[in-house]
Amino acid sequence: MNFSDLNFQPHPVAAGGVQAKHFFDNGYGISVVRFNGSYGYEQGLYESAVLKGTEEDWHICYDSVITDDVLGYQTEEEVEVLLYEIENIYI
């Protein structure tokens, strides 16, 4: 999956911000945001979080093999690496 495949929508809480969520068959997903106050916003960069669950029922996963927090200051290329890593987490 590429960064350009993400479907950005208006952020549900942060006015003027955007968010894309995508879930993989392994039960993990990603949230990618950019809004005034997100880590990297001032530099035009993104903040990402590993998600656990489904589109209907999910939470931020703070104990994945990838990270234990959100990841700020992400370039599009870094988000693509994260997409690959999340898609390849084995349960």
Helices (H), the chain: 76-87
* pLDDT on residue 75: 98
Amino acid at 33: V
Is 56:27 a contact under the CB 8 Å cutoff?
no
Question: How high does pLDDT run on average in the chain?
Answer: 96
The pLDDT tens digits of the residues spanning 45-88 come to 999 999 999 999 999 999 999 999 999 999 999 999 999 999 99
Global pTM value: 0.95
Confidence band of 35 (pLDDT split at 50, 70, 90): very high
Amino acid at 52: K
**Tokens 């093999």 — which residue?**
65
